[in-house]
Amino acid sequence: MSIKESAFPLSFDALTIEQPGAPVSLQRRTVASLNEDEALVRVAYASVNKMDPGMAQRNVFNLPVPYVLGFDFSGEVAALGSEGGFTVGDQVFGSSGTGGRFFQ
């Protein structure tokens, strides 16, 4: 099932860090829309690796707070901006330099 433009804003719960060293908390996040060069991926799997605890303790990439952990993922393209090299329904995997893959 694809997400249509009318389905935005799209809300979900994410595991966030309010500030480096703080406990992980569950926080409601919202995606209001997609930029033309973005894709929304329905994440099926997100890895936990040694980078995640380090990022929870120290924000080495200077992500804006609060930030969401989870850098490696696989899943299905659910929506696309106006540019695309993908099609809704494509199975994809990758990594994000900005985290944001630990959500439900």
Determine whether 37 is exposed, middle or buried from the number of CB atoms within 10 Å of its CB (0-12, 13-18, 19+).
exposed
pLDDT tens-digit map of 26-37:
889 888 888 888
* Residues 39, 47: Cα–Cα separation, whole Å: 20
pLDDT at position 76: 93
pLDDT tens-digit map of 44-59:
998 888 878 888 888 8
What residue ranges of the chain have pLDDT lower than 70? 1-6, 84, 104
pTM of the full structure: 0.74
pLDDT at position 1: 45
